[in-house]
Structure 1
């Protein structure tokens, strides 16, 4: 793309007039003048899925596969360990725990007592309930993601340095970020009001070299990361800003928002957008989804097979964006409570399965991918907690 647009890959000093305009409009970047007509997202969920579907598992000796035809559109030939429903019940057992006299009126007081301890494990355990009082969610997440509810001088200085890098260096990634926000959050009824702060967050995110450094220490290898690009090491794919958008409901301070979002991205989101072998990476989540669907929804599985529709194509956009932009914010934040509480992305595959189950009767009556996607397009009536509990209770 850089060659196509004759732009340097590593950026260039920002013109004085451009810098002055950026400074003057920093708090209202939606009014910043920029021509995006020649820019497009580098890749979208569909593109990543096409790559994943082309993955090959370890080659078996010919004698083992003489009479076995491995479908070329399933993940079952990829030998990664994933949980079954029984193991998921054990993982999410806290969702079924009865707490006697505790009721919703007690939750704010209980939450405040936990926050007073400033103990991350206690905050994380509280999130497992899936009943977090909204006013306390931001502070709980901050403790769980390791920086507490107050920014220290070091973090404020780091934010200032990132902002200065944005103001002084013109990078192709800036245009991609503006394009992405305009295509997604700005067109979303739930998030368009946060457009200005999202520009700030994502521009600074693109300059943060600590992100790439921390992700490199992952135990599990990431395929295809040998490229040069944004200082953060994260290529702005279509919809990346939707990982940050829900945090706008939790924090008034851009600095608090940024560091909590950054920690969440490093801990979870990057696994959804890169090809890796992590047990909670996107490949494993796709495999988990397929195995759960085949085992517990055989009618749906057979229906997809008869129509020659890959089931993962229906839900992949949900998985890759952790349902952001698909669920209403109040329900999405509950789902992300569970991700943080159980330190697990596996709830995404489980939730995708139960949504298909919930609308199974309608899906079985249609015969095209477009019609199936239309049935699943509106998730505004979906309630996260009861559906996940229902999924875990099934046979």
Structure 2
């Protein structure tokens, strides 16, 4: 009887052990429909990744995009509406363990190809700073519209910070050499008269056709100069009459855009949205205003600025300043790689009142051109 009970006990242990072994949960293992860790796509185009379990037992699934769960199914499909880099994390978990796989999704804007003209197609924004030509040609809205479709118009941007934003009927692609030409009206030495403007570019990262995406400065010859001031800000105050336009900056300085006897209209832009004050922020270049051989001059820089008689741009021959998208940098000065750009911004980059004869330093441009158009 004791032997029977003993063998029965052993048998129960074996049965229980086998059952426990059978019930052990194995960690999941997966393969994916995408075989690379980095996926390249464009905005508004769906990204699809399917996970197939090849080992382990059933497990809960989660797809996370930059920390936010977007799916709990084997198949992941998502449309990215803004360009950029996204981290997609697949995670599957059961009692036996966790399986994880990470993908990097690079989403780029749609490059608008083709186009009917190499010149500006549309002015998106014109916000000049105060100046002697503001509110009359070439400092009014009609003058801004006058640089569309040609390189023979003329618009002034007023004193420091005044800007214009424009686009083309296609994306400007980043190819070998210079990509953009901007026409101005500087004078060559010895009667130097340049009014340098900084050029910035932007992609239509969200695809809405509006210049509301990140801006990048095209670093010119003075970008790393000790005399160049980054994150400069100036505020102009409307005197609401023909009078000097006072300003203050974020360095504790103050001054005025001074009126002269040649232009007796109001110098503060009457078409500005804010009729009390205007604030501009950007990079400030050193002043180059002075006299040479008894002549008042404002010297240009070597290369990389609009309305500057630049030897590095070969302005004497080309009659325009040239710009390479490869020189784009972000707010911290880090180079930015862009396949193409959609918007261009030009703003006056010196803060100098000039004098009663010459007036303030204010960038002027006649038009812009895609240097690769039709090539």
Larger Rg over CA atoms:
2
Q: Larger strand proportion, structure 1 or 2? A: 2
**TM above 0.5:** no
Identify the TM-score tier after normalising by the shorter chain. Answer: under 0.3
Q: Larger helix proportion, structure 1 or 2? A: 1
**TM-score using structure 2 length:** 0.23
**TM-score using structure 1 length:** 0.22
